[in-house]
Structure 1
Amino acid sequence: MNIKKIIPILEWLPNYNMSLFRGDLVAGLTVGIILIPQGIAYALIAGLPPIYGLYCALMPQVMYAVFGSSRQVSVGPVAMDSLIVATGVSTLALSGSDSYISIAILLALMVGVIQFIMGVFSLGFIVNFLSKPVITGFTSAVALIIGFNQFRNLFGVDFVQSDQLQYVVEDICLQLSSFNYNTTIIGLISVIVIVIFRKIDKRIPNALIVVVLGILIMKYFGKSFNDVSIVKDIPSGLPVFSFPEFDLDLIKELLPIAFTLVMVGYLETISIGKSLEAKQDEYRIRPNQELIALGIGNMVGSLFKAYPTTSSFSRSAINEESGAKTGMSALISVLMVVLTLLFLTPLFYHLPKTVLAAIIIVAVFKLVNFKEAAFLWKANHLDFWLMLATFIATLLLGIEFGIIVGVGLSLIVLIYRTSRPYVTELGKVPDSDFYRNKNRFEEVIIENDVLVFRFDAQIFYANSSYFRDKLDEMVIEKGKTLKLIVLDAESINRVDSTGVEMLKERIKFYQKKEILFYFAGVKGPVRDDFFRSGILDIIGINHFFMKSNQAVKFYKTGDRKEQEKYAKYIHQAYK
């Protein structure tokens, strides 16, 4: 057993040096500066006191630095997971209450356990059922939901909070005229400042700048802005170790939201990790190890009062851009949060909530991916409509139902595409031994007595009827002159019992019509399945050829030299 695969920190820590530390130090300080105001802001999204956003930046980061396979991904509180937490927990307890807090912490433990189990049993492949168009539609919708929900703090109006956008927008339209002038001015100026600094350089700590400006304005000019809501007291000190409160009935109610957080969190981490992986050659992302790292981070985090965490798009990108080379940058960020919790929380007393709303709105609205939507419209209309359906479902039905719709539609599209794959007739390229798609190569020669049929997928229970129907259609088009069918099987990588039985039935059917049935380019494992299923009881081994042109040549000329060599070869391979 390779201990370095289980504990990835051992891959880089023994060779750690000062040149690596310099990059990690700058990156760790930069991310820490951004993480502190973001943590406070995201806790408010989750419906929790601000301090819990900082708790999320402690043990989850440490655990990921030890067990995560990426050295630059930044883990902690994020906007999307925070809103999902608020959506799930708000139906069970009053936002901000002790019961609400304990449920959010229990949810982190549940998410961690599920992620850890999935990682141990190598179940990371499950995420493949969420296609990229679904992820794009889901994240874009959630970004809008988060952003619109923050308008209550940006404008100083108590708008309704919901993960169904239509209710939020309706309430905003009804109450927008009663916006708080001072709150709105500070919030909009904060948005403008953040956007300007992001345009100049993403590494500039724009969130910290507007936080400092907001605190100074409220501290020294507070009497002129006494109607602007501020954060007020944030407790000092580190979280105390304690076990979450267990309640089996509560766990059952939380399971759907826990699985949603598992899927979303893992998707975010893999997406970020893969994009960072492509920029270097030092390490490779291991999906199941990422599940284990996230799981341990959430489990241990829940013991220190953290709610569910995952990786952050923005902080991970800034971490890499600032020169992070290893997980040491995450440990430096943790140290900054620890110092803040011990000594600096009183400084945030005068922080306006509208500034936090501005930070969140700018961060999430850039996740609305218009470029991907435009690309999908040009590249693949089916993927575009899949993305749009997921987007609309998430916006109107809520986050939990949105991801269910996304997974369901992904499976439907998968089944549709595998059950109705591409089928075509091949023709002979003049003066060559190659056979090509007649719909793409106009010059190919099509013979009336020969049908070279290509099926671009596995043959199994879901598409065997489609195979039979398309084959029969092409045979009918050929008419009574047809004497040979050649199945070009180079694209067939698997066949099940239903597919084999269908083939056997078709071969017998065409034998009665005195039409020969040959196979060309059958892969070894598929050929083995044919032979085990008794197909040689119907046709001989001399009906199998390496290439389509050999099959047609054998039919035309009766030249047995090449066929005998291949028959001998596949006979030995099968034995």
Structure 2
Amino acid sequence: MSNRVTDEMDIVSVSSSRRNSESLPHVHKVGIPPKQNLLKEIAGTVKETFFADDPLRHFKDQPRSRKFVLGFQAVFPIFEWGRHYSLSKFKGDLIAGLTIASLCIPQDIGYAKLANLPPQYGLYSSFVPPLIYAFMGSSRDIAIGPVAVVSLLLGSLIQNEIDPTKNPADYLRLTFTATFFAGITQVTLGFLRLGFLIDFLSHAAIVGFMGGAAVTIALQQLKGLLGIKKFTKKTDIVSVMRSVFKAAHHGVSGYHLTFEILLVLWHQTVSNLANLNGYFVLQWNWQTILIGMSFLAFLLVAKYIGKKKKKLFWVPAIAPLISVILSTFFVYITRADKHGVQIVKHIRRGINPASVDQICFSGVYLAKGFRIGVLAGMIALTEAVAIGRTFASMKDYQLDGNKEMVALGTMNIVGSMTSCYVATGSFSRSAVNYMAGCHTAVSNIVMSGVVLLTLELITPLFKYTPNAILASIIISAVVSLIDIEAAILIWKIDKFDFVACMGAFFGVVFCSVEIGLLIAVSISFAKILLQVTRPRTAILGKLPRTTVYRNILQYPDAAKVPGILIVRVDSAIYFSNSNYIKERILRWLVDETERLKENSQPRIQYLIVEMSPVTDIDTSGIHAMEELLRSLDKRDIKLVLANPGPVVVDKLHASKFDEMIGEDRIFLTVEDAVRTCAPKMDLEP
């Protein structure tokens, strides 16, 4: 290995040897790649990490005026694809925009209540942010607005700091402050090209977190669905159910809900339906329950129809608006609000007022707003990017993740200054947008226009809308977040992923949204650490009538080579796992030696380490290999390496480990190593 070559995997032929009168074919040894300049190597690593997509490739060899145009289009993609916009595309976008507007208006009012905000703030958040995104976003299908999970997260976190009923002004200020910092977080991640950080939250953790959040959101809606006036501020299932049953009978303590009490509730309910309101002591309202349950059934049936027949996607899309219209009309003509049915009441008319002066840039709320905003921004970003990537893959176009982050962050920064709270991509609305035949982000502009008309003209009509309808709409919307099929698939594929999924789920349901998120992140990082510190290794055997060597556990036909132990390391060798890899290889060796001794078979004379999966090795890894070499020398066993990559070869050469092991013990393939070692072995037991 003393001669340097220019090619990465240049081969050098060696003389052939004979065994049992059969000539061996040429055996190839691994060459050393040319030494790279340190600065170029660092620059290459940085570029691959942060600029893998080469964002400046379009600017090369362009005149200054053209660079300005390309830069402007990079920031505002609408001016790029807008040049090719046509009437046929507008028809599809118009239909899609009107459809998602009919879905978003009732949802926005409900999500605002979920965030403990007046209903108009939900509508505000579906007016300004979609306009900003339409100009800056790169996704054609994503529909922007408030979403249930982020609304719940904001509501629960800010509620822990300020009581929204006792101090609504400060609650609103902290909401706008958190929204501002959520946008700053998203823009920073996109501008610094740190989008890969959100990938640390695994798919399994997201499935569990979303499912737990859906259950929590649905439980929170029991207040509106049952007409309960006094309700817990906590989000865990124990506190919520205690509050629900305590409201059902004010004399029953949440700690003493026995089977006998449930039987009494059932008996009195069946025997005295006409006097339900008297039994529930004005805590549960039977008119509210009737309205809520009836329309919830209607919404779920509509969702089922849309799922079964894709052409009827518009049925679940307009069902919420139909529910609002019918229930509002019913309450108005019957004056059910006089009989305990809680209604929305007044929604402020007009477009978004400015809120720049309400953002806290100093004082006690600054740190709280920053902390809540970073968390909400990351969750909103994760959801939006996941949705965008899903629909981009379905339509086969590329989505620039960093541009998405800048667009989402900018719209939330502007939104915080125009009375909006955190907005992001909504899966339910994006799915409807996609199925309605949208072509571009113009559908968001159409939706925003409809919301503007609603704010200017229609908001007084929502006065008699019952809260039970909003609760039903939210419950029907979050049902799709509970992905049981995905959880089952996770269980089948990876049990550790399933633990992460269930940890996040139960953390949200039994503790809180932030605890569930913390559990999800912790388990995801624990999995990464476990995989890094405890990589897989395998013993290889030769498949009959081939030169291929595979894991003997996966391929029972693979046979071990007498006198040779072949081990594969399935990971880079770093300080975090180098000792484990060395000790694991030695354990393989000890176990195999004992087995051979018991069966009176020839002892092991060569240990071949298959290193093709080893993408890198550091100083600790080199030291571990040196210790392994010394341990093998004491056992009179020779160490052989097969197929190390260029990075590994370069570092082995720099550390002079190749001289320690011997230049004739590093081979291109396992087969080459075996063919060379086999003639030299003394196969006597």
Q: Same fold (TM over 0.5)?
A: yes
Partner residue in 1 for 2:325 = 212
8 Å Cα contact 1:448-1:478 kept in structure 2: no
Find 1:390's aligned residue among 490, 497, 504. Answer: 504
Structure 2: distance between partners of 1:365 and 1:225 = 32
Q: 1:383 to 1:245 in 2, by over 3 A?
A: closer
Partner residue in 2 for 1:570 = none
Structure 2: distance between partners of 1:315 and 1:264 = 18
Partner residue in 2 for 1:107 = 178
Partner residue in 1 for 2:527 = 413
Structure 2: distance between partners of 1:138 and 1:389 = 9
Tell me by how many angstroms 1:100 deviates: 1.1
Tell me by how many angstroms 1:410 deviates: 0.7
- Give the number of aligned pairs: 558
Tell me by how many angstroms 1:339 deviates: 0.8
Structure 2: distance between partners of 1:183 and 1:50 = 19
Matched, 1:235 2:345: no
Q: 1:443 to 1:193 in 2, by over 3 A?
A: closer
Partner residue in 1 for 2:471 = 357
8 Å Cα contact 2:180-2:373 kept in structure 1: no
Q: 1:210 to 1:225 in 2, by over 3 A?
A: farther
Partner residue in 2 for 1:122 = 193
Partner residue in 1 for 2:587 = 473
Partner residue in 2 for 1:161 = 233
Matched, 1:136 2:207: yes
Q: Kindly, what percent of the aligned residue pairs are identical?
A: 29
8 Å Cα contact 1:182-1:225 kept in structure 2: no
Partner residue in 2 for 1:187 = 292
* 1:424 partner SS: strand
Find 1:545's aligned residue among 641, 650, 667. Answer: 667
8 Å Cα contact 1:149-1:161 kept in structure 2: no
8 Å Cα contact 1:43-1:49 kept in structure 2: yes
Partner residue in 1 for 2:449 = 335
Cα deviation code 1:362-382 (max 9, x no counterpart): 111221122122222222222
Runs of 4+ aligned structure 1 residues displaced above 3 Å come to 223-226
Structure 2: distance between partners of 1:340 and 1:447 = 78
Structure 2: distance between partners of 1:401 and 1:444 = 48
Tell me by how many angstroms 1:260 deviates: 2.0
Query: Which AA in structure 2 matches 1:273?
Result: G
Q: TM-score, normalised by structure 1?
A: 0.94
Query: Which AA in structure 2 matches 1:153?
Result: G
Partner residue in 2 for 1:572 = none
Tell me by how many angstroms 1:248 deviates: 4.1
Partner residue in 2 for 1:562 = none
* 1:266 partner SS: helix
Query: Which AA in structure 1 matches 2:185?
Result: I
Structure 2: distance between partners of 1:450 and 1:25 = 70
8 Å Cα contact 2:292-2:468 kept in structure 1: yes
Name which of structure 1's ranges 136-145 and 396-405 shifts more when overlaid on structure 2.
396-405
Structure 2: distance between partners of 1:533 and 1:206 = 70
Partner residue in 1 for 2:122 = 53
Matched, 1:203 2:318: no
Partner residue in 1 for 2:260 = none
* 1:278 partner SS: helix
Partner residue in 2 for 1:147 = 218
Structure 1: distance between partners of 2:506 and 2:188 = 32
How do 1:483-494 residues align onto structure 2 when only pairs under 5 Å count? Answer: 483-494=605-616
Structure 2: distance between partners of 1:358 and 1:106 = 30
8 Å Cα contact 1:451-1:486 kept in structure 2: yes
Structure 1: distance between partners of 2:384 and 2:286 = 39
Structure 2: distance between partners of 1:160 and 1:18 = 52
Structure 2: distance between partners of 1:360 and 1:550 = 65
Partner residue in 1 for 2:516 = 402
Cα deviation code 1:211-238 (max 9, x no counterpart): 0001111222215863211111111111
Name which of structure 1's ranges 490-499 and 44-53 shifts more when overlaid on structure 2.
490-499
Structure 2: distance between partners of 1:384 and 1:245 = 41
Structure 2: distance between partners of 1:454 and 1:150 = 55
Find 2:565's aligned residue among 432, 438, 451. Answer: 451
Cα deviation code 1:53-88 (max 9, x no counterpart): 011012211111112121110111111111111111
Q: Name stretches of at least 5 consecutive residues in structure 1 with no aligned partner.
A: 559-575
Structure 2: distance between partners of 1:445 and 1:187 = 67
How do 1:268-283 residues align onto structure 2 when only pairs under 5 Å count? Answer: 268-281=383-396, 283=397
Tell me by how many angstroms 1:267 deviates: 1.5
8 Å Cα contact 1:257-1:400 kept in structure 2: no
Name which of structure 1's ranges 459-468 and 21-30 shifts more when overlaid on structure 2.
459-468
Partner residue in 2 for 1:508 = 630
* 1:439 partner SS: coil
Tell me by how many angstroms 1:390 deviates: 1.4
8 Å Cα contact 1:455-1:492 kept in structure 2: yes
Query: Which AA in structure 1 matches 2:339?
Result: N
Name which of structure 1's ranges 43-52 and 91-100 shifts more when overlaid on structure 2.
91-100
Partner residue in 2 for 1:563 = none
Query: Which AA in structure 2 matches 1:252?
Result: A
Name which of structure 1's ranges 503-512 and 350-359 shifts more when overlaid on structure 2.
503-512
* 2:641 partner SS: strand
8 Å Cα contact 2:177-2:369 kept in structure 1: no
Matched, 1:434 2:505: no
* 2:314 partner SS: coil
Structure 1: distance between partners of 2:406 and 2:327 = 40
Structure 1: distance between partners of 2:627 and 2:583 = 13
Structure 1: distance between partners of 2:500 and 2:163 = 36
Query: Which AA in structure 2 matches 1:528?
Result: D
Name which of structure 1's ranges 419-428 and 41-50 shifts more when overlaid on structure 2.
419-428
Partner residue in 2 for 1:571 = none
Name which of structure 1's ranges 254-263 and 519-528 shifts more when overlaid on structure 2.
254-263
8 Å Cα contact 2:337-2:343 kept in structure 1: no
Query: Which AA in structure 2 matches 1:311?
Result: G
Structure 1: distance between partners of 2:336 and 2:224 = 19
Find 1:94's aligned residue among 159, 163, 171. Answer: 163
The structure number with the bigger radius of gyration is 2
Tell me by how many angstroms 1:418 deviates: 2.2
8 Å Cα contact 1:464-1:498 kept in structure 2: yes
Name which of structure 1's ranges 121-130 and 215-224 shifts more when overlaid on structure 2.
215-224
RMSD: 1.7
Matched, 1:556 2:627: no
Query: Which AA in structure 1 matches 2:333?
Result: Y
Partner residue in 2 for 1:561 = none
Partner residue in 1 for 2:380 = 265
Query: Which AA in structure 1 matches 2:387?
Result: I
8 Å Cα contact 2:185-2:378 kept in structure 1: no
Q: 1:59 to 1:534 in 2, by over 3 A?
A: farther
Partner residue in 1 for 2:371 = 256
Q: TM-score, normalised by structure 2?
A: 0.79
Query: Which AA in structure 1 matches 2:184?
Result: V
Structure 1: distance between partners of 2:383 and 2:232 = 28
Q: Name stretches of at least 5 consecutive residues in structure 2 with no aligned partner.
A: 1-58, 60-69, 250-279, 307-312, 598-602, 681-685
Partner residue in 1 for 2:112 = 43
